[in-house]
Amino acid sequence: MKKRLACNERVKRSMLQKLRRDFEILEMKYGETISDYFGRVLMISNQMRSNGETMVDAKIVEKILRILAKKYMYLEVSIEESNNVEEMTIEELRYTLVVHE
């Protein structure tokens, strides 16, 4: 029983490493909509959470702002200057970006 639990933990750690890498290299694709982009980001972050990673909204919001397509650069600056990014929820950010899309 102990061996199985240890094996499960190793598999979970390995999966988490892969998901962390996927999260870090994630970029918005050319022509991708905000909704599709958010779907990909949230899919990976939810998988990370289900494997034991602590993912606060602020980390996801910062990641999203960091890797937006260049055409949204003005929005990124505006959002960062007018809002406290650490307190902003993912849904607030999504709504703001969809309105400007």
Whether the pLDDT of residue 1 is over 70: the answer is no
Q: How confident is the model at residue 87 (pLDDT cuts 50, 70, 90)?
A: confident
Q: How far is CA 49 from CA 12, 36, 54, 70, 75, in A?
A: 11, 20, 6, 29, 28
Domain total in the chain: 1
What's the pTM? Answer: 0.79
Closest CA to 63 of 24, 100, 37: 24
Tell me the per-residue pLDDT of 9-61, one tens digit each, with 9 for 90 and over. 888 888 899 999 999 999 888 889 999 999 999 999 999 998 888 888 989 99
**Domain that residue 56 falls in:** 2-100
- 31 Ramachandran zone, left/alpha/beta (phi>0; psi -120 to 50): left
Query: Which tokens go with 88?
Result: 């902003």
With a cut of 80, say whether residue 3 has pLDDT above it. Answer: no
Say what the alpha-carbon torsion angle 5, 56, 63, 25 is, to the nearest 10 degrees: 0
